[in-house]
Chain A
Amino acid sequence: GPKVLQIPSHQIIDMGQMVTLNCDPVSNHLYFYWYKQILGQQMEFLVNFYNGKVMEKSKLFKDQFSVERPDGSYFTLKIQPTALEDSAVYFCASSLARRAGNTLYFGEGSRLIVV
């Protein structure tokens, strides 16, 4: 099926530092998402993004979080500064259109460990 690529696959970072998680969505997809999964728990929605703008974000999407996709390159999630509770696996997803029936395709996740 369609592939979403995420870089890095894992990263260890000191608390307070900045981290950028990169996502290369499916090539013709227009809508992009970030989800957060703490070990052993369900995936939780963070944000979705379209046409250069945040469409919707959850309460988990703290002020320290930001997303962008400059010039059609990687769709990024930046956390600055990081906190211990940000340790989780972050999944990027993309879909072709906004209609609710469109299937989301997920990347393999970026495991973030904040120490």
Chain B
Amino acid sequence: AQKVTQTQTSISVVEKTTVTMDCVYETRDSSYFLFWYKQTASGEIVFLIRQDSYKKENATVGHYSLNFQKPKSSIGLIITATQIEDSAVYFCAMREGGSNNRIFFGDGTQLVVKP
């Protein structure tokens, strides 16, 4: 079964607006870690932000923030004041808290930011 699901294939927004990208995950572990990465047009994968499952506060880094809804197994990425250069594919990822080092990725959401 897919462990990380991103249902939005593509989103298009006008710059300077706010966008939310959805992600739901599946795990039996009580401790886990959630990440968002961005893959640019050049293929580079850039780490953006993470949320540790035991933390109640939503993580925020720059203009990225997370909407962590643990009961719904949901970790949405919010980008405020979007810029053209935010256009990329955004991957949600999860790493379980056990000894397994594997990180599971979602299928990605393509974000297009237009002028």
A associates with B: yes
Q: Is the CB of A45 within 8 A of B42?
A: no
Closest residue on chain B to residue A101 by CB atoms: B33
A56-75 CB contact bits vs B (8 Å, 1 = yes)? 10100000000000000000
Q: Is the CB of B44 within 8 A of A109?
A: yes
Q: Is the CB of B100 within 8 A of A111?
A: no
Choose the segment among B12-20, B77-85, B101-109 that binds chain A (4+ C-beta atoms closer than 8 Å): B101-109
State A107–B43 Cα separation when bound (angstroms): 9
Does A103 lie at the interface of the complex (its beta carbon under 8 Å from any beta carbon of B)?
yes
Q: Is the CB of A31 within 8 A of B47?
A: no
Closest residue on chain A to residue B104 by CB atoms: A45
Q: What residues on B are CB-neighbors of A104 within 8 Å?
A: 35, 47, 103
How many interface residues does chain B have, given as a range? 20 to 34
Q: Is the CB of A100 within 8 A of B44?
A: no
State A58–B104 Cα separation when bound (angstroms): 12
Q: Is the CB of A31 within 8 A of B101?
A: yes
Q: What residues on A are CB-neighbors of B105 within 8 Å?
A: 42-44
Q: Which of B44, B47, B102, B104 contacts A103 (CB 8 A)?
A: B47
State A43–B98 Cα separation when bound (angstroms): 21
A41, A104, A107 — most chain B CB neighbours (10 Å): A104
State A104–B102 Cα separation when bound (angstroms): 10
Closest residue on chain B to residue A44 by CB atoms: B105
Interface residues of B in 58-82 (CB under 8 A from A): none
For residue B30, give the distance in angstroms from its CB to the closest CB of chain A. 12
Q: Is the CB of B47 within 8 A of A43?
A: no
Q: Is the CB of B103 within 8 A of A56?
A: no
Q: Is the CB of B33 within 8 A of A45?
A: no
Does B25 lie at the interface of the complex (its beta carbon under 8 Å from any beta carbon of A)?
no
Q: What residues on A are CB-neighbors of B108 within 8 Å?
A: 42
State A104–B101 Cα separation when bound (angstroms): 10
